[in-house]
Structure 1
Amino acid sequence: WLATAAVRDLLSSNDFSPKDVGELFLTAGTKMMSSMGGASGAIFGTLFRSGGKAIVGQQDFDSTVLSQFLVAGSAAVFARGGAKPGDKTMIDALVAAEKQSEQVKNEDLKNALSSVAKAAEDGAENTRNQVAVFGRAKSLGERSLGHVDPGAVSMSLILKYMSEFVNR
């Protein structure tokens, strides 16, 4: 994944010193937009940039800030892409994560992020039972049944790896 390499390089750079959590996510989103091809770069970049803008000024990343990030990022992705839950897209995992984040926003970050990542994974897995009506897979129609949406899996993996990082 070119985007993960670009973000990893950004984070390991001695020149990058974000002043807060929001700037970290905003800058990561910009890197995603510039390094990922196709619609994925725009969508994931929008999520991270818009979520980051919503938490600018936050010095700590806790479960409340996580929820603020996901709520704002989701709204921006909806506005940009037009997909909705049930369309068999990354939205299915993102909305599941966002809803769960609102339920656990008063828990400690480790437990909250684990729970949010699991909700995203379940949302991605649920796309297996959906017919794609949006995105690249919509041309497959009924043939998309039985397969998970790659964008939903990507979304769930991002949250899974965030959780693993926080929980180590």
Structure 2
Amino acid sequence: MLDAAFMSRWMSATAASVSREETRLTDLDSAIGDADHGANLRRGFTAVTAALDKETPDTPGAVLALAGRRLISTVGGASGPLYGTLLRSTGKALGDTAEVTRAQLAEALGAGVAAVARLGGAAAGDKTMLDALEPAVEALGTSFAAAAAAAEAGALATVPLRARKGRASYLGERSVGHRDPGATSAALLVGALVEAAA
């Protein structure tokens, strides 16, 4: 069973992973975006861990809702609202239960991913974070490791795609051949579940 402490570990592991990969995320974003994805996400998840150090929500849903609110209030660009919506909607879907199963988390994360799709008007195949998140949600029923592998494979599969949403879509054909930074950071978020579980 997954409790509030697990979700806090997940957010801390994500913050550490984003911090380690900040330069890589920014390099990916400089090729097809505005070169701020790494710095923006590091700032956002640093604010999330600081908020969780101060407040200790007592349910998994409350942890993720708090994290989502922090991201929306501290991260500029598109990534703040998108990641904030993902975590807030996931938290809301989990409700007030003190402990949840991995299957319940998968279902709630699916609701979060659907909220992101509505907000950004994107779908899988558009070269966005959804290309990593959708396969991850499907694999989460199997294991955290399977979800992490599916997210990484989804992010890698964005390389040959032409971007149809977001800043990269302005580049048209020139977006082909570049790995999507949003899908890459989404894979970091999913991968952090493995660390949280360990």
TM-score by length of 1: 0.88
Which segments of structure 1 move beyond 4 Å, counting only runs of 4 or more? none
Match of 1:140 in 2: 171
Residue 69 of structure 1 and its aligned partner are, at CA, apart by 2.2
Residue 4 of structure 1 and its aligned partner are, at CA, apart by 1.1
Residue 163 of structure 1 and its aligned partner are, at CA, apart by 1.6
Match of 1:97 in 2: 136
Match of 1:10 in 2: 51
Residue 63 of structure 1 and its aligned partner are, at CA, apart by 1.0
Structure 1 segment 7-156 matched on structure 2, within 5 A: 7-13=48-54, 16-101=55-140, 103-104=141-142, 112-156=143-187
Residue 64 of structure 1 and its aligned partner are, at CA, apart by 1.3
Matching residue's letter, 1:124: A
Residue 141 of structure 1 and its aligned partner are, at CA, apart by 1.5
Please give the per-residue CA displacement for 1:7-44, whole angstroms capped at 9, x wherever unaligned.
1112222xx12121000101100001111111110000
| Alignment partner of 1:161 is 2:192 | yes
Q: Which has the higher contact order (CA 8 A, sep 6+)?
A: 2
**Percent of matched pairs sharing the same residue:** 41
Distance in 2, matches of 1:94 and 1:157, equals 10
Match of 1:109 in 2: none
Distance in 2, matches of 1:62 and 1:121, equals 23
Distance in 2, matches of 1:141 and 1:164, equals 37
Distance in 1, matches of 2:192 and 2:99, equals 19
Matching residue's letter, 1:90: M
Distance in 2, matches of 1:120 and 1:32, equals 21
Residue 165 of structure 1 and its aligned partner are, at CA, apart by 2.4
Distance in 1, matches of 2:172 and 2:119, equals 23
Residue 61 of structure 1 and its aligned partner are, at CA, apart by 4.1
Unaligned runs of 5+ in 1: 105-111
For the aligned residues, what is the CA RMSD? 1.2
Residue 78 of structure 2: SS of its match in structure 1?
helix
Matching residue's letter, 1:28: A
